[in-house]
Structure formats: C-alpha cells, structure tokens
C-alpha cells in the first residue's frame, strides 16, 4: 500500500509479479510475512527502484525505505538475505534537492531508534 500511495510503480510491479495480494489491509506482521515470502521466492534484498514514472533517474533502495519507515523486522530480513548496509538510496527530496543516504542515515533522520540500534550492530564489509 505504501509503494502504491507513494507512486513507487516499479516496487508495485515487483510485488505483484511475486504474488503480492492487492486487497489486503496493512498490518505490520502481514507486511513482514510477505517480505519474508518474497525474499524466499528470490526477491532481491538490494533492489533499487525508480521513485516514479516521471523520475526515472531518482532511485531508492528497499533497505533504506524499510529503515526510514521503522520496520526492524523487515530490515533484519533484508540483512539476513544479504542487503548491502552501505548502499545508498533516496531518503528525501524536493524541488530544493535530493538527499541520499544509507539505511542507518535514513533511520536516524526518521528517528527510528530500534532500527538505528539494529543497523549500528551490523558490521559492514
């Protein structure tokens, strides 16, 4: 639902291609279970997506998005499947500029302490 609401058409396409349910009420546990299922089916934990049809050069990353939304379970699932903790993705942007950063930077900026603690314990390569 978040991907659709924010216009992340590539993410919506990927989720639908992997069997995401269209008519589901957002529940953190259900979302985490679906991410686990998608990763088990081969979804890329380092997936990079364009933020919208009109902005094909502006890209986000699923780990950065999960961190900024404050989903420690999803962040852990992505990390367990090999998500690159050092990879940068779009954190925020406006007509004044775009801000890219790592998942840790996104969690810090969004004030998500549980995710910050989780990411600080990851040892990057």
pLDDT of residue 77: 95
- Note the pLDDT tens digit of each residue in 81-116: 999 999 999 898 776 788 899 999 999 999 999 999
Residue 31 covered by a domain: yes
d(CA 75, CA 107): 10
CATH for 34: 1.25.40.20
Residue 125 covered by a domain: no
pLDDT of residue 73: 94
Residue 68 covered by a domain: yes
Q: Quick count: other Cβ atoms within 10 Å of Cβ 26?
A: 9
pLDDT of residue 22: 64
**Interior angle at CA 16, CA 10 and CA 19, nearest 5:** 145
Task: Report residue 52's pLDDT band, with 50, 70 and 90 as the boundaries.
Answer: low
Structural domains of the chain, count: 1
- Note the pLDDT tens digit of each residue in 3-16: 765 667 777 777 77
d(CA 106, CA 89): 9
d(CA 2, CA 124): 28
Range of the domain at 78: 2-120
pTM of the predicted model over 0.85: no
Residue 47 · residue 62 · CB < 8 Å? yes
């Amino acid at each position: 639902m978040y991907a659709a609401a924010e216009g992340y058409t590539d993410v919506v396409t990927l989720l639908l291609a992997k069997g995401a349910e269209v008519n589901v009420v957002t529940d953190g546990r259900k979302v985490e279970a679906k991410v686990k299922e998608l990763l088990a089916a081969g979804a890329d934990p380092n997936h990079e997506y364009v933020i919208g049809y009109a902005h094909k050069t502006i890209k986000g990353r699923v780990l950065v998005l999960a961190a900024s939304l404050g989903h420690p379970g999803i962040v852990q699932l992505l990390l367990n499947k090999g998500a690159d903790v050092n990879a940068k993705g779009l954190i925020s942007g406006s007509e004044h500029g775009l801000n890219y950063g790592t998942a840790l930077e996104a969690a810090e900026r969004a004030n998500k302490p549980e995710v910050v603690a989780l990411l600080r314990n990851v040892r990057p390569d």
